[in-house]
Amino acid sequence: MDNKIKLKLFIWNGFCPDYSGRLAFAIAKDQKDAEKLVIKEYNSIPYDWRTLEIKSLSRRIARCVCGGG
């Protein structure tokens, strides 16, 4: 039996928007764990998480977030 924890990539698109969309991400075992990591990094509870994507770490992936003026 495989006892390894399967990690996933959690991506929040539009995270805490201001004048442009932002992005937050975490590599974690589940959404609760990912949110704890982001809160620790952000030094606060985010006021708007926006859209969440969850990706398996079994394949290559890339995302871009453009914004500003």
Question: What is the pLDDT, as a whole number, of residue 19?
Answer: 75
DSSP 39: H
Question: What is the pLDDT, as a whole number, of residue 66?
Answer: 74
Whole-number Å distance between alpha carbons of 8 and 26: 8
Question: What is the pLDDT, as a whole number, of residue 38?
Answer: 95
Give the bridge partners for 12, in sequence order: 24, 52
Q: What is the pTM of this model?
A: 0.82
Q: CA gyration radius for the chain?
A: 13
Question: What is the pLDDT, as a whole number, of residue 34?
Answer: 96
pLDDT tens by residue, 20-51? 778 899 999 999 999 999 999 999 998 899 99
Sign of the dihedral defined by the CA atoms of residues 30, 24, 37, 7, in that order: positive
Average pLDDT of every residue of the chain: 87
Residue ranges of domains in the chain: 8-56
Question: What is the pLDDT, as a whole number, of residue 12?
Answer: 93
